[in-house]
Amino acid sequence: MCGIVGAVAARPVQNILIEGLRRLEYRGYDSAGIALYSDGQIKRCRRNGKVQSLADALAENPLVGTTGIAHTRWATHGVPHERNAHPHMSADILAVVHNGIIENFEVLKEGLQEKGYTFTSDTDTEVIAHLLAEHLKTEPCLQRAVAHIITQLEGAYALGVIHKDAPDQLVTARKGSPLVIGVGIGENFIASDQLALLPVTDRFMFLEEGDVAVLTPSDIQVYDANNNRVTRKVSQFAHGVSAAEKGEFKHYMLKEIYEQPAMIKACMEGRISGDRLLEQCFGANAADIFDQVKQVQIIACGTSFHAGIIAKYWIEAFVGIPCMIEVASEYRYRPVVIPPGTLFLTISQSGETADTLAALREVQSRVLASLVICNVPGSSLVRESDLCLMTNAGPEIGVASTKAFTTQLVALMLTTIALGRRNDLTAEVEAKIIRALKALPEQVEQALAMDKDIEEMAQSFAEKHHALFLGRGTLYPIAKEGALKLKEISYIHAESYPAGELKHGPLALVDKDMPVVAVAPQNDMLDKLKANLQEVKARGGQLFVFAGSDRVQSEDATHVLTMPDCDEIMQPVLYTIPLQLLSYHVAVLKGTDVDQPRNLAKSVTVE
Ligand code: G6P
């Protein structure tokens, strides 16, 4: 939930670290701090608020040094406050930045207080600083001291440590939280993700669970959880450096909405030949596993959960085997039945969501195999699952997920085909689905051309306090996603319902102050939905309907936005686009922070 960055170089690193923090701000933005080795001392500067407050403070009083660490925080233990901002120090000799959560910090804290350590923050992280200081009394080597104290930590951590007696060393360790090493020339770096370091390097090394590494300007030494010296592969960043820039767009979210035609194509690239799926894209042993699948359990959170509901509809319709879906935070804590032949499918844009990861770890040994649909190569879910299918959407910076979601749907349809082939899916239907997939980029382009109309429509929402989203079939999860987007970035309370449930409760809420958005399917469910919409109209509700051409007529209090034609199979992807644009424009009208909505974070690596 926090972002960490560190550097050890021959040149001053303050500005490299601040730029890194700006790029990590999507991970946490309630306070920020930096610590550098400077003239035999560790010097630190921390500020409450966004990275800009820290940058302003440093502009007045710069810190000069070539070894340093920095952090942008999303509060878990202790309120957002300067005293709780990282880096945390012990006796002015060392500084620590941490992302993750130390579950046994209270016990450790008591022990350290008994030994005379004074705590100046409410964080779990400060115990790490004092534990290290204590161990360094008898252990002169910083790397060995870090390796020792992490054995006492329960929970998740990615750490960066500097010490006043090791001016050209940056020690790092990770378990359960993401961390990459950026490999430079005569300088090396650490960060929570690759994006933070793109201005200084495009070569990265991913640490395994429990690894500790010592970075100097010219060297990187990695030790595994058993303290054996190991080598970890260095790989090149796969996307262009501009992938992480906003370019001509006002917000990352808008840029990412507009990138969808290209990213949907990228998600299919190399995975389709003619009108057939190339199922090797799931990995060499995938075919054997898929042959044995008898049912699927899907686990995810947030927007990824909505993608999962659509996948359930698809799997039951096209594959003909049972599929259940549940949010990870519930699944992981209840006794679950896992029938033989279960494929455990997780969906996660970040690959680091704590609940999803915990659910996987909980059942890994009891399932036939695990498959993750993910957007971040090298992330924990990718490393720990048996199979993975990357969404290839490129870096997504806006906290509200857009292109990660639509590419998840494409990847899930590819998964449906792979499973379907062994069950109910004929070659003809496979070919039909592939045609629908291939047509998507252009249809999404056409949906993006609705932007101006949707911007106008957004005016009807900006002053409202509530909105209702309705859908049926595979468009019901799209209504859910539309409502979530509106909540996330415009802070308007939005509810979603399968339209058939309207009269079982939500109809009581409908009046002229409750705009109702309906995503109308281009299939035989349309008439059913139309009947539901009449119920809304009769109660004076303002209706906004996204529908295929000529299927629903505009009339008083019913505004119809005509969708591009599209095969009904892939409708969920297409109908997502106007709802993303709607929430975006409402948020802009309301003046909220579109890319970094309050209280939310892109990557939820704590419970
Ligand atoms: C956070 C993000 C959402 C995301 C959810 C699940 O809430 O803000 O955009 O849908 O986590 O994250 P995941 O990375 O597992 O898809």
Tens digits of per-residue pLDDT, 184-215?
999 999 999 888 999 999 999 999 889 999 99
Q: Give me ligand 1 centre to Cα 380, in Å.
A: 14
Q: Give me ligand 1 centre to Cα 197, in Å.
A: 22
The answer on pLDDT for 76 being more than 80 is no
The answer on pLDDT for 541 being more than 80 is no
Which atom of ligand 1 lies nearest, measured to the CA of 400? 9
Which atom of ligand 1 lies nearest, measured to the CA of 356? 15
Q: Give me ligand 1 centre to Cα 302, in Å.
A: 5
> Could you count the other beta carbons within 10 Å of the beta carbon of residue 591?
9
Give the pLDDT score at 155: 80
CA distance 383 to 300: 17
Give the pLDDT score at 556: 59
Q: Give me ligand 1 centre to Cα 371, in Å.
A: 18
Under 8 Å between Cβ of 212 and 150: yes
Q: Give me ligand 1 centre to Cα 421, in Å.
A: 31
The runs of H, that is alpha helices, within 215-327 are: 252-258, 260-268, 286-292, 302-314
Q: Which amino acid is at 273?
A: S
Least confident of 17-31, 357-371, 438-452, 579-593: 17-31
Give the pLDDT score at 300: 98
The residue to mutate among 401, 576, 595, 605, having the most atoms of ligand 1 within 8 angstroms of its beta carbon, is 401
Average pLDDT over residues 472-486: 95
Does 211 or 29 have the greater pLDDT score? 211
Residue of the nearest CA to atom 8 in ligand 1? 602
Does 507 or 291 have the greater pLDDT score? 291
Residue of the nearest CA to atom 2 in ligand 1? 602
Give the pLDDT score at 243: 64
Average pLDDT, the chain: 92
Under 8 Å between Cβ of 54 and 85: no
Least confident of 48-62, 232-246, 510-524, 561-575: 232-246
The answer on pLDDT for 606 being more than 80 is no
Angstrom distances, CA of residue 589 to CA of 36, 273, 492, 537: 41, 44, 12, 26
The residue to mutate among 1, 26, 301, having the most atoms of ligand 1 within 8 angstroms of its beta carbon, is 301
Q: Please give the domain boundaries of the chain with CATH numbers for all domains.
A: 3-236 (3.60.20.10), 252-448 (3.40.50.10490), 451-590 (3.40.50.10490)
pLDDT tens digit string along 308-359?
999 999 999 999 999 999 999 999 999 999 999 999 999 999 999 999 999 9
Residue of the nearest CA to atom 15 in ligand 1? 348
The answer on pLDDT for 271 being more than 80 is yes
Confidence at 523, pLDDT banded by 50, 70, 90: low
Give the pLDDT score at 311: 98
Q: What is the CA radius of gyration of the chain?
A: 25
CA distance 272 to 277: 5
Give the pLDDT score at 1: 55
Six token digits for residue 202 = 């495009």
The answer on pLDDT for 529 being more than 80 is no
Give the pLDDT score at 240: 61
Instruction: Give the list of residues 6+ apart from residue 74 with CB closer than 8 angstroms, or none.
Output: 1, 2, 27, 28, 29, 30, 601
Omega before residue 87 within 30° of 0, cis: yes
Task: Say what percent of the chain tops pLDDT 70.
Answer: 96
Which atom of ligand 1 lies nearest, measured to the CA of 600? 8
Give the pLDDT score at 531: 76
Q: Among all residues, which ones are annotated catalytic?
A: 2, 602
Six token digits for residue 182 = 């950026």
Confidence at 125, pLDDT banded by 50, 70, 90: very high
Backbone angles phi and psi of 156, in degrees to 5: -125, 145
Q: Give me ligand 1 centre to Cα 605, in Å.
A: 10
Residue of the nearest CA to atom 1 in ligand 1? 602
CA distance 152 to 133: 14
Least confident of 115-119, 421-425, 487-491, 519-523: 519-523
CA distance 476 to 482: 10
Residue of the nearest CA to atom 13 in ligand 1? 348
Q: Give me ligand 1 centre to Cα 349, in Å.
A: 7
The residue to mutate among 604, 606, 607, having the most atoms of ligand 1 within 8 angstroms of its beta carbon, is 604
Give the pLDDT score at 100: 83
Instruction: Give the list of residues 6+ apart from residue 79 with CB closer than 8 angstroms, or none.
Output: 122
Which atom of ligand 1 lies nearest, measured to the CA of 401? 9
Give the pLDDT score at 366: 97
Q: Give me ligand 1 centre to Cα 363, in Å.
A: 21
Give the pLDDT score at 524: 67
Phi/psi class of residue 320: alpha, beta or left (left: φ > 0; alpha: ψ in -120 to 50)? left
Query: Which residue is it, tokens 């705590």?
Result: 119
Residue of the nearest CA to atom 9 in ligand 1? 401
Q: Which DSSP state fits 475?
A: G
Confidence at 241, pLDDT banded by 50, 70, 90: low
Instruction: Give the list of residues 6+ apart from residue 555 with CB closer than 8 angstroms, or none.
Output: none
Which atom of ligand 1 lies nearest, measured to the CA of 302? 10
Q: Is the dihedral of CA 255, 245, 80, 112 positive or negative?
A: positive
For residue 249, the Cα-to-chain-centroid distance in whole angstroms is 21
Which atom of ligand 1 lies nearest, measured to the CA of 399? 8
Ligand 1 pocket residues where CB is under 6 Å: 301-304, 348-350, 353, 356, 399, 401, 600, 602, 604
